[in-house]
Chains A and B, each alone.
Chain A
Amino acid sequence: AFNRLSYPQPFVDKPQRTDVLVMSPWLAPIMWEGTFNRDILNAQYRPLPLKSTTSPSQFTVLRYIRFIQGFIGSANKYFLSGHRVNFYLFTDHPEKVPAMELASEKHLFIIPIQNYSRWQDISMNRMDIISNYIRSRWRYEVDYLYSMDIDLQLFEHIGVEIVDTLVGTIPGTYERRPESQAAIPSGEGDFYYAASFYGGSVSEVYKLTTACFKGVTEDRANGIEAKWHEESHLNKYLLYHKPTRLLSPEYYWDEELSQPPIVKVKRLSSVRKNLQEVRY
């Protein structure tokens, strides 16, 4: 139940945004600034404290260590502020992770992993690692799980509006990568989803990561390696298992792009990096 909440009345004939799609054809809401009231959402989560435990899991290898401070620092401030969050940070150099002070409801777990010589391998094995950790540990620790790239920073609040059964993000780059569409029959596909930020309930993310890694393994056995491999399989999965909620480009923006008027808030954005330097 609610305590008294005061907010303006919604009007049936007055949509807040007419410039963007706010709902998918299967009635999954798409998160855009102006369409939701976070006070109402937070009030709905208050009687259910368990639900607020989520965990973004990031992967960093040595050359990406420099991004940790920026990501964790900004997430500490802006990610599900006021709710319990476990950050699971996978890294091949745990000793190099800087000490960071976190809010009392936020915790950081550093998990060592082996390094891979090719960055493509890191990206492709993420799914397997996530799937294994869900089975062995996370299903007992959290209710919702999100996977995020490390070379990102939060610039604005990302709150309980992202919490739902299966969540995909429509990225701020509209340029579709042809190779990553290889898995999808031509003519099909709803939206293009980014592998940099997705999540949902632990059981749904388990199903997704297990299915995607299976696809990756099969491709590998057939000698195929599509460039944006992980993302390709993610898109195929989300075509046939439609997300229950979608995040607009506000939730994953490419710093290199100029901000169009439809994106009123940049919540999560890539930070400039020298691609050559970090990948090789």
Chain B
Amino acid sequence: MIYAKPQVLKPPRNDVLMMTPWFAPIVWEGTYNLDILNEQFRQRNVTVGLTVFAIKKYVVFLKTFLETAEMYFMVGHKVNYYIFTDRPQEVPKVELKEGRNVVVLQVQNYSRWQEISMRRMEMINHFSKKQFINEVDYLVCVDVDMRFNDLVGVEILSNLFGTLHPGFYGSERRSFTYERRPASQAYVPHDEGDFYYAAAFFGGTVKEVYKLTKKCHEAIMVDKDNGIEAIWQEESHLNKYFVYHKPTKILSPEYLWDDNIGRPEILRKRRFLAVPKNHTAIRNK
């Protein structure tokens, strides 16, 4: 394979942090060679599972989600789309490339959107043990009200990865919207924490995602027993987990963006974008 040689004295980017203090790469455009990585992952013949939840009216997002995933997600690799839904008959038929499958998992719904959001941890955990461990090597867990806009490939794969929340990548840790009430299991003190991660995009090996979702679900249930709900639901618990179980790779905001925020210079690509939605119309329906 012929490619441009890396140079010890010439970093490809000097405007961004490329690595955390515990050596987790932070994935930005320009910092990796996709050809090398594709070859490494093809040699291992990996299969990637993509989990997405389309409960109640959220089924309406599936068509765009799947069609853009076909164009941009893990191109050239084996993919299983795991669609968690209470309305299996409303899952659209989308033409899939070779080596890619849709698996529909029927689950119950809940009346409150917060509950639906938080129960994702339990459901991913349950199916990881029952099914995913036998079918895929890596799990990528994302929100459904999104569309792929550029390549999202094997550069994201690692034992445990999280994504920088687009609203907080430049913030001081005391402004992170961690849960600040000590009564909650998700509590993080003001002088701790590295980044604020988004619950809309996380993943890792099946084993690591199993451990993460188990811990988060258990913490959510303890909070429930104590009559408290974390400020940003499962995202608060995810952030607590990542303070004490540091991710082995972090995705830059290129991997989770909302065009309403704007286009800062630091952002050379917008790979995964929020789809505009009417919150009142779609939630709790």
List chain A positions with a Cβ less than 8 A from chain B: 1-2, 4-7, 9-27, 29-30, 35-37, 40-41, 44, 161, 170, 187-191, 242, 245, 248, 262
Contact = CB atoms under 8 A, between A and B. Distances in A.
Contacts, number: 118
Contact of B19 (A9, A18, A23, A187): A23
B22 A37 contact: yes
Interface string B1-29: 11101111111101111111111011100
13 contacts: A7-B21, A11-B17, A13-B170, A15-B16, A15-B18, A21-B11, A23-B19, A24-B6, A27-B31, A27-B249, A161-B23, A188-B1, A191-B6
A44 B25 contact: no
Contacts of A17: 11
A10 B36 contact: no
B135 interface: no
Contacts of B9: 19-21, 262
Given A10-B17, A15-B17, A27-B249, 14 more contacts: A4-B189, A9-B172, A9-B173, A10-B194, A12-B16, A13-B169, A15-B18, A17-B11, A19-B9, A22-B19, A23-B25, A27-B32, A37-B22, A242-B36
Contacts of A22: 11, 18-19
A13 B86 CA distance: 42
A40 B168 CA distance: 23
A191 B10 CA distance: 13
Say what secondary structure dominates the interface of chain A. loop
Nearest to B28: A12
Given A15-B18, A26-B36, A242-B40, A21 B10 contact: yes
A9 B168 CA distance: 13
Nearest to B37: A26
A248 B11 CA distance: 14
A20 B8 contact: yes
B155 interface: yes
Contacts of B173: 9
Interface in B144-191: 155, 164, 169-170, 172-173, 189, 191
Contact of A15 (B14, B170, B192, B193): B14
A41 B21 CA distance: 9
B246 interface: yes
A25 B33 contact: yes
A191 B5 CA distance: 8
B112 interface: no
B61 interface: no
A245 B19 CA distance: 12
Contact of A188 (B2, B7, B191, B192): B2
A19 B11 CA distance: 7
B266 interface: yes
B192 A21 contact: no
A188 B20 CA distance: 29
B191 A6 contact: yes
Contacts of A170: 8
A203 to B, nearest CB: 15
A123 to B, nearest CB: 25
Enumerate the 7 nearest inter-chain pairs by beta-carbon distance, A residue then B residue, closest first: A25-B33, A18-B14, A37-B21, A29-B23, A27-B25, A9-B173, A26-B36
B2 A12 contact: no
A262 B9 CA distance: 9
Contacts of B2: 187-188
Contacts of A15: 11, 14-18
A11 B21 CA distance: 10
B130 interface: no
Contact of A13 (B17, B31, B243, B244): B17
A19 B193 CA distance: 27
Contact of B16 (A13, A35, A41, A189): A13
Contacts of B170: 11-13
Contacts of A2: 243-244
Contacts of B169: 12-13
B31 to A, nearest CB: 6
Contacts of B14: 15, 18
B246 A20 contact: no
B3 to A, nearest CB: 8
A26 B194 CA distance: 24
A191 B8 contact: yes
Given A21-B9, A36-B21, A9 B33 contact: no
B8 A12 contact: no
Given A27-B37, A170-B8, A1 B191 contact: no
B279 interface: no
Contacts of B193: 9
B279 to A, nearest CB: 28
A32 B185 CA distance: 37
B245 A1 contact: yes
B16 to A, nearest CB: 6
